[in-house]
Chain A
């Protein structure tokens, strides 16, 4: 039985592995990976999650659409969402936060930053 279930939605296997590596520092974390937004929603419906980390630019369904759908679904709207993306412009950040993302991390990937944000949203001291 894991303490925290985390869903990583990212089309790049390298990125998924990097994010998963950073999150594995959290004791009792269980990581589920999804290739895109649609896959993410499918995984989301199969079990309870404590945190979602998603890329923006993905095939089939992008990360912003996923954020919007999650925030408008009564079953999932309380789950914190972190967007991890190459888009560093302020308007991109504001758009993601306006849609309901809890935090916004820009690439290149920094494992320490991801870990800090995840711990904060999972309320781990």
Chain B
């Protein structure tokens, strides 16, 4: 009986021990799980923390970089705009210089041609070519002043018969006044201009310094020539001076040649 009781107690003790062991194992397992979860929690907290702070800093950095680049881009765009404006200025200036260069070349060639001969007829021919080809006139007359009679007479015409052009007295009418004053005359309205030999569309005095030797009277422009450009006025100035000098020189030369020929004739007559 006592043995049975001891066996029962022993069995219960064993059973309790087993339960206790299981309880201990379970407790340990809980502790490990708890530890694992705590570790996991820490990890999550840590990753959450790093996950929030790092992108914000990066974003801030990137935002600043974008702002810098935007500013840089704006500066570059401003510089490009400035350079483009400068380029446009240079291009416009280049065209102006090109035009100026062409005009100067025209003026140079015209004056060079005017002084390339001492033959009176050739000089008149060159003046005519300049007026047609460079100014664009279709009908005009070159008139010279006879200082003995104070009359202006046409010595060369283009597009008009020379006999159609009357002579004009110095100081009388538009042509006479231009010859007397030495001032250019331009009709007020080219479009409505009607040909009038005594009132040309344009009248330019041919003068050596202040001494007028004749005039150039333009009555009609080429159909494609609608108005005068700045270079035309320079050409008129050139013609006023250089054409006058060329005409005057060639006439003097022709006269001296004629006189020389006459004198030579007399000498030949006397010495024979």
Contacts and interface: CB of A to CB of B under 8 A. Distances in A.
B105 A109 contact: no
Given A86-B132, A108-B134, A112-B99, A14 B222 contact: no
B121 to A, nearest CB: 14
Nearest to B134: A108
B interface, over-half SS: helix
B113 A108 contact: no
A16 to B, nearest CB: 10
A32 to B, nearest CB: 18
Interface string B108-136: 01101100000000000010011011111
Interface residues on A, range: 10 to 19
Nearest to B102: A111
A21 B159 CA distance: 28
Interface of A: 12-15, 17-18, 21-22, 86, 88-89, 106-112
A18 B133 contact: yes
Contacts of A12: 129, 133
Given A18-B106, A86-B138, A107-B136, 15 more contacts: A14-B126, A14-B129, A14-B133, A15-B133, A17-B112, A21-B105, A22-B102, A86-B133, A86-B136, A106-B224, A107-B132, A108-B134, A108-B222, A108-B225, A112-B99
Nearest to A112: B102
21 contacts: A12-B129, A13-B113, A14-B133, A15-B129, A15-B133, A17-B113, A18-B133, A18-B134, A21-B105, A21-B109, A86-B132, A86-B133, A86-B136, A88-B222, A106-B222, A107-B136, A108-B132, A108-B133, A109-B106, A109-B133, A110-B102
A88 B224 contact: yes
B33 to A, nearest CB: 84
A89 B223 contact: yes
Interface residues on B, range: 20 to 34
A29 B105 CA distance: 18
A112 B98 contact: yes
A15 B132 CA distance: 10
Closest 8 CB pairs of A and B: A88-B224, A108-B136, A111-B102, A88-B223, A14-B129, A14-B113, A106-B224, A12-B129
A121 to B, nearest CB: 20
B222 A109 contact: no
A88 B98 CA distance: 25
B138 A14 contact: no
Contact of A14 (B99, B102, B130, B224): B130
A55 to B, nearest CB: 10
Interface string B214-245: 00000000111100000000000000000000
Contact of B222 (A13, A17, A21, A86): A86
A17 B135 CA distance: 16
Contacts of A22: 102
A19 to B, nearest CB: 10
B138 to A, nearest CB: 7
Contacts of A111: 102, 105-106
